[in-house]
């Protein structure tokens, strides 16, 4: 029996997905970046890791949850990063995280709090039951730049169901590895380490919310959050906590790292919203990496159809 499914407005035909080989010319990308004043921020030395040097992930399913836009080049994604555990400049993570993936084996993740199946699990054993998908998501940084990234991962909801949270679990709290020896940025008190993020339980259960273990069909590099990170495409990028070692179900809203640092500028929800400016700059427009002109920022980063109902009746200027 053959089933036909109606195509949603946000789905991308596989024929329109840009092949990675089209983007392998680093010089062309740097020329584009120069035009928009970003080249100085992008590393141009030999420490940038080629896609061919990263281990491939196999048996990937093609997900319907994908953007209809061209993908950002692999080298751009992996050399222009915010990951303060490795430094505050955009190039620091690709400089200082090159050996980090090798140190993530073994890697344990603790699941605890208000759930019926807590425990500490080996990362590879934990993810083994879940089918990996490729999802091409628009991603928007609070600083005003954006990318389109082909993530590989599985829905966070699948893991939550396995953990069996109880009725007290209203939020999910995530914690990054604390290891200043491996993560030199943690030797500076830029933030109150370890990095902590959180989602409301219904946000965490939304089908778009992903636990990513790779991008461009390859395992995550250190600068991208190896071995596992959170991806929430309708929120600003800093909500996508990297190198997760703990997932905890809690009754009260977690105090996240950026809320501790400056709650007036970084709220818990952090939804992409062109109508709510950051106190120091407008959020109405964004600059896609590799493009010359700015484009209008979309409400919920273009994912309103899937997530707007999560915030029905809320004042999104107050709950920013």
pLDDT of res. 26: 41
User: Is residue 259, in this structure, part of any structural domain at all?
Assistant: yes
- Residue 30's pLDDT is 39
Can you give the pLDDT at residue 76? Answer: 96
pLDDT of residue 68: 86
**Mean model confidence pLDDT for the chain:** 87
User: What pLDDT does residue 34 have?
Assistant: 37
pLDDT at 145 exceeding the cut of 70: yes
Q: What is residue 101's predicted lDDT score, i.e. its pLDDT?
A: 75
> Is 200 among the domain residues?
yes
Q: Which residue has the higher pLDDT, 48 or 247?
A: 247
Query: Model confidence over 187-197: pLDDT tens digits?
Result: 999 999 999 99
Name all contacts of 57-60 with Cβ < 8 Å and 24+ positions apart. Answer: 57/132, 57/152, 57/213, 57/214, 57/217, 57/218, 57/219, 59/131, 59/132, 60/132, 60/133, 60/134, 60/152, 60/217
Residue 192 belongs to domain spanning: 14-311
Asked whether residue 46 carries a pLDDT value surpassing 60, the answer given is: no
pLDDT over 70, % of the chain: 83
Exposure string for 280-305, b = 16+ CB within 10 A, e = fewer: eeebeebbbbbbeeeeebbbbbbbee
In a domain, 1, yes or no: no
If one counts the domains in the chain, the total is: 1
pLDDT: which is higher, 229 or 37 = 229
Q: Residue 289: is its pLDDT beyond 80?
A: yes
pLDDT of 262 strictly over 50:
yes
- On whether residue 7 sits in a domain, the answer given is no
Please check the confidence at residue 99 and state whether its pLDDT lies above 70: yes
- Cβ-proximal residues to 87 (8 Å cutoff; 6+ apart), any chain: 93, 95, 96, 184, 185
Residue 249 domain flag:
yes
* Sign of the C-alpha dihedral computed for residues 115, 119, 124 and 126 taken in this order: negative
- For 9-23, write each residue's pLDDT tens digit: 444 443 344 444 433
213 in a domain, yes or no? yes
Q: 63 or 175, which is more confident?
A: 175
pLDDT higher than 90, residue 37 = no
Residue with the larger pLDDT of the pair 154 and 58: 154
Query: Regarding predicted confidence, which is higher, 1 or 218?
Result: 218
Per-residue pLDDT, 14: 39
Q: How confident is the model at residue 47 (pLDDT cuts 50, 70, 90)?
A: very low
User: Has residue 9 been placed in a domain?
Assistant: no
The residue among 115 and 27 whose pLDDT is bigger is 115
Query: Strands 133-140 and 61-62: what pairing?
Result: parallel
Establish if 286 belongs to a structural domain: yes
In CATH, what number is assigned to the domain containing residue 25?
Answer: 3.90.420.10
Q: Report the pLDDT value the prediction gives residue 313, as an integer from 0 to 100.
A: 97
Question: pTM for this structure?
Answer: 0.84
């Amino acid at each position: 029996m053959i089933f036909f499914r109606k195509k949603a407005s946000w789905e991308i035909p596989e024929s329109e997905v840009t092949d990675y080989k089209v983007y392998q010319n680093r010089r062309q990308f740097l020329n584009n970046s120069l035009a928009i004043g970003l080249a100085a921020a992008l590393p141009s030395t030999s420490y940038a890791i080629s896609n061919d040097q990263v281990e491939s992930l196999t048996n990937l399913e093609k997900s319907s949850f994908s953007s209809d836009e061209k993908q950002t080049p692999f080298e751009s994604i992996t050399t222009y990063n915010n990951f303060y555990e490795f430094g505050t400049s955009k190039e620091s993570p690709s400089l200082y995280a090159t050996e980090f993936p090798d140190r993530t084996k073994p890697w344990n993740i603790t699941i605890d709090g208000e759930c019926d199946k807590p425990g500490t699990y080996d990362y590879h054993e934990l993810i083994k039951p879940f089918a990996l998908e490729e999802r091409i998501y628009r991603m928007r940084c609070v600083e005003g730049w954006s990318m389109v990234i082909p993530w590989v991962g599985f829905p966070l909801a699948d893991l939550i169901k396995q953990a069996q949270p109880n009725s007290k679990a209203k939020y999910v709290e995530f914690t990054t590895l604390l290891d200043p020896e491996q993560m030199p940025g943690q030797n500076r008190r830029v933030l109150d380490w370890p990095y902590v993020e959180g989602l409301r339980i219904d946000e965490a259960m939304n089908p778009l919310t992903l636990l990513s273990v790779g991008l461009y069909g390859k395992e995550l590099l250190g600068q991208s959050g190896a071995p596992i990170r959170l991806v929430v495409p309708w929120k600003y990028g800093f909500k996508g906590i990297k190198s997760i070692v703990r997932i905890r179900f809690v009754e009260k809203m977690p105090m996240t790292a950026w809320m501790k640092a400056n709650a007036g500028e970084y709220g818990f929800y952090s939804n992409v919203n062109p109508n709510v400016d950051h106190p120091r700059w407008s959020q109405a427009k964004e600059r896609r990496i590799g493009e010359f002109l700015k484009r209008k920022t979309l409400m919920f980063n273009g994912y309103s159809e899937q997530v707007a109902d999560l915030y029905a009746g809320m004042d999104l200027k107050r709950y920013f």
